[in-house]
């Protein structure tokens, strides 16, 4: 039995965590949770004002935070983001790739080339750029954690979201490739696969009664989740408790992917 059996913890004290798409929704929830767990957090998103609002909340709660407006689809901005994070906090231990976009809604054959380009630029290339920029700093510190926020849309087609689905499927494979290639550097790479989460990003789905009701009927738990319900898994994957887990994609979807519709048997 390993002597470390009882020492695993989700405490992130003295860790440095970089979270993209951190100005709202899932990214914000994870950033605040990591700060509460003791990590020094670096927040990245495109809009400075929204980003600074999150940073101020973390500061008021006693956390150490750095907010840097960044477009993750632009590699030069990502490199500058990581360089400043390292300059300020000394390194990077945890990366949460969460920034995403979905400019096209409708049949996939109506998507314009610009829709494909923008969605891949942020949802896939952005994840790659941040992982690439963080890698040498994680390696220098003896290891690290990369957590990619994927989606059930990468596992099951969603009406009107074809381009987004394709990019999220790419995120799942990117997770496996990075996990295989970075394992020798003691860097674990895993994906969280959220179902329908009540965020601003998905507002049209839960504010439109017909869409909401149709979606909820497909979920065994009969509800959408709140962003805070991803925190436990995000803490686990960022901590030493997940040191022997890499290349996994963990659904947190209320049972949607099992495709089971409860019915009364009597």
Contact 146, 189 (CB under 8 A): yes
Contact 119, 163 (CB under 8 A): yes
Q: Can you tell me the distance from the alpha carbon of 51 to that of 25, in angstroms, rounded to the nearest whole number?
A: 12
φ, ψ (nearest 5 deg) of residue 254: 70, 15
Residues in CB range of 53: below 8 A, 6 or more apart: 23
Closest to 72 in 3D by CA, of 200, 171, 143: 171
Catalytic residues: 164
- Cα dist. 94→42, 103, 258 in Å? 10, 28, 30
- Cα dist. 264→14, 256, 261 in Å? 51, 19, 10
φ, ψ (nearest 5 deg) of residue 41: -110, 140
Q: Can you tell me the distance from the alpha carbon of 26 to that of 247, in angstroms, rounded to the nearest whole number?
A: 21
């Amino acid at each position: 039995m390993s002597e470390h059996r009882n020492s695993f913890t989700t405490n992130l004290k003295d860790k440095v965590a970089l979270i993209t798409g951190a100005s709202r929704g899932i990214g914000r929830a994870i950033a605040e949770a990591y700060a509460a767990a003791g990590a020094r957090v670096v927040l990245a998103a495109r809009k400075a004002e929204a980003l600074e609002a999150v940073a101020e909340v973390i500061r008021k709660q006693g956390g150490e935070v750095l907010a840097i407006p960044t477009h993750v689809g632009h590699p030069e901005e990502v490199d500058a983001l990581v360089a400043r994070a390292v300059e300020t906090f000394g390194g990077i231990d945890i990366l949460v790739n969460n920034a995403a976009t979905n400019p096209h809604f409708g049949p996939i054959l109506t998507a314009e080339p610009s829709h494909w380009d923008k969605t891949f630029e942020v949802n896939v290339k952005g994840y790659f750029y941040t992982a690439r920029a963080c890698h040498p700093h994680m390696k220098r510190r003896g290891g690290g954690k990369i957590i990619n926020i994927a989606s059930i849309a990468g596992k099951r087609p969603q009406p009107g979201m074809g381009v987004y689905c394709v990019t999220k499927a790419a995120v799942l494979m990117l997770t496996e490739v990075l996990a295989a290639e970075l394992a020798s550097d003691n860097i674990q790479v895993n994906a969280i696969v959220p179902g329908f989460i009540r965020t601003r990003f998905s507002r049209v789905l839960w504010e439109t009664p017909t869409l909401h009701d149709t979606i909820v009927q497909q979920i065994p738990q009969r509800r959408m989740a709140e962003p805070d319900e991803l925190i436990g898994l995000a803490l686990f994957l960022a901590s030493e408790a997940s040191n022997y887990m890499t290349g996994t994609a963990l659904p947190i979807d209320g049972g949607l992917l099992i495709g089971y519709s409860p019915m009364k048997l009597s």
